[in-house]
Amino acid sequence: MNLPKRRQNNLKNVTAKPYNELFIYYLQGRLKADPHLFQENFIGNWEEDNFSFLFFSSPARDDIAKLLRTQPQLTYIDTYHMSYDQWQSQAFTRVRYGKLCIIPHWEASSHPPPTSGDEIPILLDPGVVFGTGAHPTTRDCLEALELATAITPPETVLDLGTGTGLLALAAARLGCQKICAIDVNMLAALTARKNVCINRLEDNVLVAQAKAEEFIDCPADLVIANIHFDVMQKLIDSRGFLQKEKFILSGLLRGEAKAVANKLAQFPVKALKTWTQDGIWHTFYGKRC
């Protein structure tokens, strides 16, 4: 099954609770923008390379047939039907990592629980975007964030490849004042923005849809990049990377992590801690020397 890898694009409507079922239509080509194209059962469109993955909460064969007639640049490939939990790989429930407690929005009231010294809550509605905290690299990034904010939290943070916005929200909850969260995919950016509003962190977190490479030169005390390796290489080679006081780099497989470690060894930086999960996923937390 050739489903998309990680990110998504072009949101129309995301509900405040998970969907019971997902109907995913896999097309070659990219849609022309049309806000009146689909009905209320349309969730969003994940665009990756020259492919589109259209998400619906109920069957939409007639809509897809009409789309293929009106947009001849598109070619139908396949249809997938699965539960919401299957799409997210597992049920998304309340979970705690260190001081941070990630709470599904549909399990809580519309207002975030009060923050206490023992537990720091983050409300999250991932929609159909990945990033609930279950992936090993996300958990390691959350631990690295706690280390980075333990004494004096960085004032400004760049979260590149933000997905649902979870790491940006965590940075804000841990005391960082200004966070810029970037994702190249529109659906991810809009989902992250929604989560910022759910947590009432609009004064702290700005979300934008853009390429990570276009923002790496922006001033920030800490950069977080849990992102594809090809993008990671461009970020590390940029002038802006060495201007950051601290960094968290993740989403790396073993060979990729070795390449990143070799590259970092050429720079005036120091790895303060590294994580390896299941011998597969690697994360670096470090600082400029």
Look up residue 37 and give its two tokens.
Answer: 């194209």
Share of the chain above pLDDT 90, in %: 71
CA dist 269 and 267 (Å) reads 5
**Other C-beta atoms lying within 10 Å of the C-beta of residue 110:** 8
pTM for the complete prediction?
Answer: 0.85
CA dist 14 and 198 (Å) reads 13
Residue 6 has a pLDDT of 41
- The superfamily CATH assigns to domain 132-288 is Vaccinia Virus protein VP39 (3.40.50.150)
pLDDT of 110 above 80: no
Q: Is 76 left (phi over 0), alpha (psi -120 to 50) or beta?
A: beta
pLDDT of 10 above 50: no
**Backbone angles phi and psi of 156, in degrees to 5:** -120, 140
Total length of the chain: 289
Residues 6+ away with beta carbon under 8 Å from 91: 85
* Element counts in the chain: helices (H) and strands (E): 7, 15
Query: Span 27-47, mean pLDDT?
Result: 85
Task: For the chain, give every domain's residue range.
Answer: 9-86, 132-288
Residue 17 has a pLDDT of 55
Q: What is the pLDDT of residues 136-167, one digit of tens each?
A: 999 999 999 999 999 999 999 999 999 999 99
Give the distance between the most distant pair of CA atoms in the chain: 59
Is 18 buried (19+), middle (13-18) or exposed (0-12) by CB count in 10 A? buried
Higher-scoring residue by pLDDT: 268, 37: 268
Q: Do the bridges between strand 222-226 and strand 156-160 make them parallel or antiparallel, or are there none, so unpaired?
A: parallel
Cβ 196 vs Cβ 125: under 8 Å: no
Cβ 261 vs Cβ 232: under 8 Å: no
pLDDT of 224 above 60: yes
Cβ 278 vs Cβ 139: under 8 Å: no
Domains 9-86 and 132-288 share a fold: no
Closest CA to 167 of 152, 151, 149: 149
Q: What is the pLDDT of residues 59-87, one digit of tens each?
A: 999 999 999 999 999 999 999 999 988 88
Of the options 1.10.20, 3.30.70, 1.10.10, 3.30.2390, the CATH number for the domain spanning 9-86: 3.30.70
pLDDT of 5 above 70: no
